Amino acid sequence: MSQKQRTALITGAGQNMGLGVARHLAAKGIQVIINDIDAARAAAAAAEIISAGGKALAAPFDITKTDIALPAIAALEAEVGGIDILVNNAGNAGHKATHQIAFKDMPPEEWDMYIGVNLYGVLNCTKAVLNGMCERGWGRVITISSEAGRAGLDINVSVYGAAKAGAAHLMRHVAREVGPYGVTANVISLGLMDNVPEEFTSRIVKTIPMRRLGSGEDVAAAVDYLSSDAASWGSPDRRCRSTAVPMPSDASERLGSSAQLSPQQVCFVVEDVSAAVAFCEERFGWGRSTSSRPRLPRRPTRPGAVRS
């Protein structure tokens, strides 16, 4: 997607998914600022992009510390003439190793390594760029979140999920506040990615429609759209409407999953009704006639109300 020359700050972009996003945006002609807590990693990533013909700048600093992040981003804005796109990508447990542990067993001193990067990092970086974006009348804030922030999971990531949920809800409020200035704030909620160990994902991959894990390229494509002029109307509240589409009777067999999928109990939750119907038509072979489409549950009528 073609874009005008702009500058993007990507946090946690020294490796993995963040670096994939940075490469993609740089290939589109966007100047990228590579943030990473590891200075050598940030420098190597920036050098790689420059050697490929892109424009890049290394910016190693700790996004979890307000007294460090805000002045660092202010200095960057002065150097590059403003940050147009912010990708809040840094996550997991920051520079510490992520480990799964039930909340009842987690020591309170471990909470901050998840809340710091996944919530305070987003707060700090978003706060630092918003005024400039609003003054210039254009800006894109994109926060990488997780399904752990949308739904409760039984994989012992409760504090991580709580922090992701907080950051996602922050974007909903920020989108309302800055939309009139030409600035959008959006969230990309990820499922399992290809940096997760295979022993943890082998069973779950069978329940994913595309039968594979997500990649940095998948995320980069979504960021490309949300950071473009074409996404000027998008915000979390405007674009997302959750709808549950009942599974067909043979959904478990077609998905190749185990008997844990009960058609009577499980619904396929999507963000857009038309996308849900299109998915079901393609995946489950439902025809395009109204008689073969699933009937979406109707909201109950209030006493005395006239149903349209």
Q: What angle do helix axes 216-226 and 16-27 make, rounded to 10 degrees? A: 50
Identify the helix (H) or strand (E) that includes residue 32: strand 31-35
The vertex-297 CA angle with 204 and 162, nearest 5°, equals 45
Rounded distance, CA 171 to CA 148, Å?
Answer: 16
| 214, 192 Cβ separation under 8 angstroms | yes
CB-side neighbour CA atoms (13 Å) of 294: 23
Q: From 64, 74, 69, select the one nearest 120 (Cα to Cα).
A: 64
Active site residues: 160
Residues 6+ apart with CB under 8 A from 301: 307
Q: Which residue has the tokens 């909470």?
A: 111
Rg of the chain taking only CA atoms, in angstroms: 21
